Amino acid sequence: MTAQAAPVRVRELFLHDLTRVLRAGDPYGRLDAIEPERLLRPFVLAPAAPGEEAACTVDALTVERLRCFHQAVAAGVERAGHVLTAVAVDVDAEGFGRVLVTAGRLVLLAESLRDAGRFGFPSLTALAAAGDRLVARAVAVLDRFPEVAGADD
Protein backbone atom coordinates (compact mmCIF):
# COMPACT_ATOMS: atom_id res chain seq x y z
CA MET A 1 0.00 0.00 0.00
CA THR A 2 1.39 3.41 -0.92
CA ALA A 3 1.60 6.26 1.55
CA GLN A 4 -1.00 8.18 -0.44
CA ALA A 5 -3.51 5.30 -0.51
CA ALA A 6 -3.81 5.03 3.27
CA PRO A 7 -5.47 8.44 3.95
CA VAL A 8 -7.92 7.91 1.10
CA ARG A 9 -8.96 4.56 2.57
CA VAL A 10 -9.45 6.10 6.02
CA ARG A 11 -11.59 8.85 4.52
CA GLU A 12 -13.67 6.27 2.69
CA LEU A 13 -14.19 4.53 6.04
CA PHE A 14 -15.33 7.77 7.66
CA LEU A 15 -17.87 8.46 4.90
CA HIS A 16 -19.01 4.83 5.15
CA ASP A 17 -19.47 5.23 8.93
CA LEU A 18 -21.41 8.45 8.43
CA THR A 19 -23.67 6.77 5.88
CA ARG A 20 -24.28 3.89 8.31
CA VAL A 21 -25.15 6.33 11.11
CA LEU A 22 -27.65 8.11 8.87
CA ARG A 23 -29.27 4.85 7.81
CA ALA A 24 -29.40 3.60 11.41
CA GLY A 25 -31.73 6.48 12.23
CA ASP A 26 -34.29 5.20 9.71
CA PRO A 27 -36.26 2.35 11.35
CA TYR A 28 -38.31 1.68 8.21
CA GLY A 29 -35.36 1.22 5.82
CA ARG A 30 -36.40 4.00 3.43
CA LEU A 31 -32.82 5.29 3.25
CA ASP A 32 -31.35 1.90 2.32
CA ALA A 33 -32.00 2.40 -1.41
CA ILE A 34 -30.52 5.90 -1.53
CA GLU A 35 -26.94 6.16 -2.78
CA PRO A 36 -24.38 7.46 -0.25
CA GLU A 37 -23.59 10.67 -2.18
CA ARG A 38 -27.23 11.72 -1.97
CA LEU A 39 -27.44 10.85 1.74
CA LEU A 40 -24.35 12.96 2.45
CA ARG A 41 -25.49 15.94 0.35
CA PRO A 42 -26.96 17.88 3.34
CA PHE A 43 -23.45 18.02 4.84
CA VAL A 44 -22.17 20.00 1.84
CA LEU A 45 -23.00 23.70 2.09
CA ALA A 46 -22.04 26.54 -0.18
CA PRO A 47 -19.73 29.03 1.51
CA ALA A 48 -21.43 32.08 2.97
CA ALA A 49 -21.52 35.00 0.57
CA PRO A 50 -19.52 38.09 1.55
CA GLY A 51 -21.63 40.22 3.84
CA GLU A 52 -24.13 37.42 4.47
CA GLU A 53 -25.18 37.33 8.10
CA ALA A 54 -24.89 34.14 10.11
CA ALA A 55 -28.06 32.23 10.86
CA CYS A 56 -29.36 33.30 14.26
CA THR A 57 -31.28 30.10 14.88
CA VAL A 58 -30.44 26.43 14.63
CA ASP A 59 -33.06 24.02 13.36
CA ALA A 60 -33.49 20.41 14.41
CA LEU A 61 -32.06 19.05 11.15
CA THR A 62 -28.80 20.93 11.70
CA VAL A 63 -28.50 19.55 15.24
CA GLU A 64 -29.14 16.08 13.82
CA ARG A 65 -26.35 16.58 11.22
CA LEU A 66 -23.98 17.61 14.03
CA ARG A 67 -24.94 14.55 16.07
CA CYS A 68 -24.57 12.14 13.12
CA PHE A 69 -21.19 13.60 12.14
CA HIS A 70 -19.83 13.15 15.65
CA GLN A 71 -21.37 9.68 15.98
CA ALA A 72 -19.42 8.72 12.85
CA VAL A 73 -16.28 10.08 14.52
CA ALA A 74 -17.09 7.92 17.56
CA ALA A 75 -17.57 4.90 15.29
CA GLY A 76 -14.10 5.48 13.82
CA VAL A 77 -12.63 5.60 17.33
CA GLU A 78 -14.43 2.38 18.26
CA ARG A 79 -13.00 0.65 15.19
CA ALA A 80 -9.47 1.87 15.96
CA GLY A 81 -9.46 1.46 19.73
CA HIS A 82 -11.92 -1.32 20.46
CA VAL A 83 -13.73 0.71 23.14
CA LEU A 84 -17.33 1.81 23.43
CA THR A 85 -17.92 5.52 22.95
CA ALA A 86 -20.73 7.95 23.67
CA VAL A 87 -21.60 11.27 22.03
CA ALA A 88 -23.27 14.23 23.73
CA VAL A 89 -24.42 17.27 21.74
CA ASP A 90 -25.75 20.40 23.42
CA VAL A 91 -26.58 23.35 21.16
CA ASP A 92 -28.71 26.34 22.06
CA ALA A 93 -31.10 28.08 19.68
CA GLU A 94 -28.47 30.65 18.69
CA GLY A 95 -25.89 28.08 17.57
CA PHE A 96 -23.57 27.98 20.58
CA GLY A 97 -22.84 24.71 22.30
CA ARG A 98 -20.55 21.81 22.92
CA VAL A 99 -19.96 18.31 21.58
CA LEU A 100 -18.32 15.60 23.67
CA VAL A 101 -17.14 12.16 22.60
CA THR A 102 -16.29 9.97 25.59
CA ALA A 103 -15.06 6.46 26.31
CA GLY A 104 -15.48 5.31 29.90
CA ARG A 105 -14.39 8.29 31.99
CA LEU A 106 -12.16 9.68 29.26
CA VAL A 107 -13.17 12.68 27.17
CA LEU A 108 -11.77 11.86 23.75
CA LEU A 109 -13.01 14.98 22.01
CA ALA A 110 -14.49 18.23 23.33
CA GLU A 111 -15.52 20.82 20.76
CA SER A 112 -17.01 24.22 21.41
CA LEU A 113 -19.52 25.27 18.79
CA ARG A 114 -20.18 28.73 17.42
CA ASP A 115 -22.48 29.46 14.51
CA ALA A 116 -23.73 25.86 14.41
CA GLY A 117 -26.49 26.98 12.05
CA ARG A 118 -23.88 26.88 9.26
CA PHE A 119 -22.56 23.40 10.11
CA GLY A 120 -21.38 21.85 6.89
CA PHE A 121 -18.43 21.46 4.57
CA PRO A 122 -17.59 22.80 1.12
CA SER A 123 -17.25 19.29 -0.37
CA LEU A 124 -17.40 15.60 0.47
CA THR A 125 -13.60 15.57 0.45
CA ALA A 126 -13.56 18.31 3.11
CA LEU A 127 -16.19 16.41 5.10
CA ALA A 128 -14.09 13.23 5.02
CA ALA A 129 -10.90 15.12 5.89
CA ALA A 130 -12.53 16.81 8.90
CA GLY A 131 -13.93 13.50 10.15
CA ASP A 132 -10.59 11.78 9.66
CA ARG A 133 -8.79 14.55 11.55
CA LEU A 134 -11.18 14.29 14.52
CA VAL A 135 -10.92 10.49 14.62
CA ALA A 136 -7.12 10.76 14.65
CA ARG A 137 -7.22 13.34 17.47
CA ALA A 138 -9.56 11.21 19.56
CA VAL A 139 -7.55 8.02 18.97
CA ALA A 140 -4.39 9.86 20.06
CA VAL A 141 -6.07 10.74 23.37
CA LEU A 142 -7.25 7.14 23.75
CA ASP A 143 -3.75 5.82 23.08
CA ARG A 144 -2.35 8.16 25.73
CA PHE A 145 -4.86 7.23 28.47
CA PRO A 146 -6.24 3.73 27.72
CA GLU A 147 -6.73 2.85 31.40
CA VAL A 148 -9.15 5.77 31.88
CA ALA A 149 -11.20 4.76 28.82
CA GLY A 150 -11.68 1.29 30.23
CA ALA A 151 -12.85 2.50 33.66
CA ASP A 152 -16.64 2.36 33.81
CA ASP A 153 -17.11 2.12 37.57
The model carries a pTM of 0.86
Q: The domain containing residue 48 runs over which residues?
A: 5-149
CATH number of the domain encompassing residue 129: 1.10.3100.20
pLDDT by residue for the chain (153 residues), tens only, comes to: 333 444 445 568 999 999 999 999 888 989 998 999 999 999 998 776 666 666 568 889 999 999 999 999 999 999 998 899 999 999 998 889 999 999 999 999 999 998 888 899 999 999 999 999 999 999 999 999 999 987 654
Q: Are 91 and 67 in contact (CB under 8 A)?
A: no
Q: What is the pLDDT of residue 75?
A: 96
Q: What is the pLDDT of residue 8?
A: 47
Provide the number of structural domains found in the chain. 1
Q: What is the pLDDT of residue 6?
A: 43
- Cα–Cα–Cα angle for 127, 113, 143, nearest 5°? 65
